[in-house]
Amino acid sequence: MSNVLRTNCAIIGDSCVGKTSVINPENSGKNYEMTLGCKISVKSVRIPDTKYKVDIFVHDCSGKQLYCDILDRLWSDVTLIIVAYDVTSEASFRSVKDWHTRCTKATQEHPTFGVLLACKTDLSNRRTVTLAQGESLAKELGLQYFECSARDGSNLDASFFYLAHEWYKLYMEKVESFSNAQL
Amino acid sequence: MGFEYDVTMVSSYDTLYPCENITNGSGAGFWTTTGTYPQCLVITLKETTHVKSLELFSCNVKGLRIEGSASESEALNFEEITQQEIPPGNLQKTTVSDINGDFKHLKFDILSGHEHFASIHDLTVMNG
Ligand SMILES: Nc1nc2c(ncn2[C@@H]2O[C@H](COP(=O)(O)OP(=O)(O)O)[C@@H](O)[C@H]2O)c(=O)[nH]1
Ligand SMILES: [Mg+2]
């Protein structure tokens, strides 16, 4: 039997960048279906060579302005973030900072850590945002950079794997500090 | 001395830090939450007992609500005893006195934390 760690993760970014497809890749070939408000799904990641499994509750948030109020409330419970953009859309790349700022403001009390996710890398001939640009923005925002394509299925689990490992490491650090706690 | 009790419900379980640790009074072991809030823990006394006070040692607990139930069988019909914000600290010591109620079950809701994970190290329920 394994021990289960839990965490709330929000995937944010402009509409249409591919957020829902990263979570449900089987949808990436279908017609666009707008996410209303927020949908929650669970990604389970086993930490190799340990008895631990991390359940990431992924909150897939609509990029539409209409739902901003819901988002601000949700973010106070979020501990991990994935900020996504579309490598064929410079506008979505420019929005990353705004999304990140809003989310970190709402979660100040419990600092989050997260991922900058470049989506739709299969569209290489239409790509306008380069790997170097992505990496440099990730560094500036203190995020880990990943690329993926829901269409060809490449690298989809990497960001969840990374987040699960970071959560596990944080947990190990904290229980260590609990065992040394004194009045 | 404290009353004997069993921990009958927990919302997080790590086999290395089992909830039985909070009853042993030695302070060495602890029970830890494994991520996200709220978290919850229910203890059940041997019989319905007049409880005067309790003492709790914890880490990172922020919003704490304590409820009691006199229901003999299932842990039902809880009524609030106290809700408070615990200041941050290394090991937090919380004393709740003047409870003066008859309870079989006590429920501890950790509504929020000072950090992502929180722990409970010891819990003593007293009649004095
Ligand atoms: N070529 C390509 N299209 C994608 C990919 N991921 C999503 N799409 C398409 O982009 C559109 C928006 O995707 P969706 O996941 O709903 O975006 P969201 O609004 O951010 O949740 C849909 O038409 C998807 O089929 C991908 O990796 N490659
Ligand atoms: Mg969507």
Strands (E), chain A: 3-12, 38-46, 52-61, 80-86, 113-119, 144-147
Provide residues of B within 8 Å CB-CB of chain A.
12-17, 30, 32, 34-37, 59-60, 90-91, 93, 113, 115-117, 119, 121
In the Cβ-directed half-sphere of A40, how many Cα atoms lie within 13 Å? 9
Beta strands in A62-103 (DSSP E): 80-86
Q: What is the CA radius of gyration of chain A?
A: 17
pLDDT tens-digit series, residues A118-170: 999 999 999 999 999 999 999 999 999 999 999 999 999 999 999 999 999 99
Instruction: Return the biggest CA–CA distance within chain A.
Output: 61
Mean pLDDT of A10-21: 92
- CA-nearest residue for atom 23, ligand 1, is A32
Number of domains in chain A: 1
The Cα A181–Cα A20 span in angstroms is 42
Closest C-alpha among A48, A61, A56 to residue A167? A56
Residues 6+ apart with CB under 8 A from B122: B22, B24, B25, B27, B30, B55, B56, B57
| Residue A173 main-chain phi, psi, to 5 deg | -60, -45
Q: What is the pLDDT of residues B26-55, one digit of tens each?
A: 667 899 999 999 999 999 999 999 999 999
CB contact (8 A) between residue B36 and residue A8: yes
Residue carrying the six token digits 């006199």: B70
Name the residue range of residue A33's domain. 3-182
Q: What is the CATH number of the domain that holds A164?
A: 3.40.50.300
The ipTM assigned to this model is 0.92
